Amino acid sequence: MAPPGESAVELVELVKRYGARTAVDGLSLRAGRGAVTALLGPNGAGKTTTIEICEGFRRADAGTVRVLGLDPVSDARALKPRVGVMPQSGGVPGTARAGEFLRLIASFHSAPLDPAALLDRLGLSGHARTPYRRLSGGQQQRLSLAVALVGRPELVFLDEPTTGLDPQARHATWELIEELRAAGVAVVLTTHYMEEAERLADHVVIVDHGKVVAQGGPDELAGAERQLRFRARPGLGLEELLAALPVGSAAKESPAGHYLVEGDVRPELLATVTAWCASHGVMAEELRIERRTLEDVFLELTGRELRA
Ligand SMILES: Nc1ncnc2c1ncn2[C@@H]1O[C@H](COP(=O)(O)OP(=O)(O)OP(=O)(O)O)[C@@H](O)[C@H]1O
């Protein structure tokens, strides 16, 4: 499904190689204004490379890139004041004091946000005089986010904005991102937190091996399928349970004592499972019917093996 809104970013058949390695392999996507687009993918899938091409930090080997209708390399000067960038790490000199640096970046923009208010919003007021390298990892992340936002950009690229943040800072970041969307800003972010994508994203793009393997709204990707889960003593005879269920159902125990039944989850199936449990003296605890999550879909599409 196409993402909502007018395009802020359009990539068509993007290719990027590092020597013999193809990091981005014919990737096409669109990110809308006033929408949050989340790029998901295993380590090394090509997300950062794609974002860095959009930011004009790298050149694509093939394909087309339009950012706010412009070319990120040849139109870099025109784009700079309109686009906010939060890199995966760094972006701020180690000796720069948080408050001074944010005021300096604000001074490059015609109608910036108030740097002091932004620092306060991100819980950094008490660290305004602290050099960047002395900030904790999470505080450095928050300052990078402030730097990306202080110029009131039309489009922001946030590479793993909440990695390593404590729950308070993560929630504060989510609220800021939601406000940006409401103000019509296009937000393109990467994340490894599926619940973050589920909560924030209007459009999710799952990337693997440099290609888009699925895209759509989070609910749309998760689909309408339901699954039934319960806990009980380990080692139940699942073949026997399966025989009682409609053809096409699946049942598995993973990990021990945690049961999952998939298939056409209707009232009849629920009744069959509970009747089977009753006839076997099994107390099905925490029995619940759930939709598949984005994490289920992600693992199905990209597999469970670790990435190099
Ligand atoms: N400067 C570089 N030189 C050579 N190879 C690179 C370079 N940058 C990235 N790569 C390789 O390109 C591939 C894609 O990397 P990229 O950083 O875009 O992935 P990613 O999806 O952002 O991963 P992660 O989730 O770990 O941040 C990886 O195999 C990586 O090793």
Q: Indicate which atom in ligand 1 lies nearest the CA of residue 52.
A: 18
d(CA 160, ligand 1 centre) in Å: 14
d(CA 60, ligand 1 centre) in Å: 14
- 14, 17, 40, 49: residue to mutate for ligand 1 pocket, most atoms within 8 A of CB: 49
Which of these ranges, 198-202, 221-225, 271-275, 298-302, has the smallest mean pLDDT? 221-225
Q: What is the mean pLDDT of residues 156-166?
A: 95
User: Is residue 159 predicted with pLDDT exceeding 80?
Assistant: yes
d(CA 196, ligand 1 centre) in Å: 22
Give the pLDDT confidence score for residue 1 in this predicted structure.
Answer: 52
Give the pLDDT confidence score for residue 226 in this predicted structure.
Answer: 87
> Nearest-CA neighbor of 42 among 221, 206, 216, 214?
206
Using CB distances shorter than 6 Å, the residues near ligand 1 are 18, 21, 23, 41, 43-49
- Cβ 98 vs Cβ 125: under 8 Å: no
Give the pLDDT confidence score for residue 163 in this predicted structure.
Answer: 93
d(CA 46, ligand 1 centre) in Å: 6
pLDDT band for position 257 (cuts 50, 70, 90): very high
- 14, 15, 21, 209: residue to mutate for ligand 1 pocket, most atoms within 8 A of CB: 21
User: Is residue 306 predicted with pLDDT exceeding 90?
Assistant: no
Q: What is the mean pLDDT of the chain?
A: 94
What domains, with CATH codes, occur in the chain?
7-220 (3.40.50.300), 226-291 (3.30.70)
Give the pLDDT confidence score for residue 3 in this predicted structure.
Answer: 55
Q: What is the mean pLDDT of residues 180-206?
A: 96
pLDDT, tens digit (0-9, with 9 covering 90-100), for 86-99: 998 878 999 999 99
Confirm whether the ipTM is greater than 0.90. yes
User: Is residue 222 predicted with pLDDT exceeding 80?
Assistant: yes
Using H for helix, E for strand and C for coil, what is the string for 110-148?
CCCCCHHHHHHHCCCHHHCCCEHHHCCHHHHHHHHHHHH
Q: List the residue whose alpha carbon is closest to atom 3 of ligand 1.
A: 18
User: Is residue 133 predicted with pLDDT exceeding 70?
Assistant: yes
Give the pLDDT confidence score for residue 4 in this predicted structure.
Answer: 54
Which helix (H) or strand (E) segment is 307 a member of? none
Q: List the residue whose alpha carbon is closest to atom 31 of ligand 1.
A: 44
DSSP-derived pairing of the beta strands 258-262 and 226-231: antiparallel
Q: List the residue whose alpha carbon is closest to atom 27 of ligand 1.
A: 43
Percent of the chain having pLDDT more than 90? 88
Give the pLDDT confidence score for residue 21 in this predicted structure.
Answer: 95
Q: Indicate which atom in ligand 1 lies nearest the CA of residue 39.
A: 21
Give the pLDDT confidence score for residue 143 in this predicted structure.
Answer: 95
Q: Indicate which atom in ligand 1 lies nearest the CA of residue 45.
A: 21
- Cβ 180 vs Cβ 156: under 8 Å: yes
Structure-block tokens of residue 32: 């809308």
Q: List the residue whose alpha carbon is closest to atom 25 of ligand 1.
A: 43
pLDDT, tens digit (0-9, with 9 covering 90-100), for 37-84: 999 999 999 999 999 999 999 999 999 999 999 999 999 999 999 999
Residues 6+ apart with CB under 8 A from 155: 8, 9, 33, 67, 68, 82, 83, 84, 185, 186, 187, 188
Q: What is the pTM of this model?
A: 0.88
Q: What is the mean pLDDT of residues 129-145?
A: 95
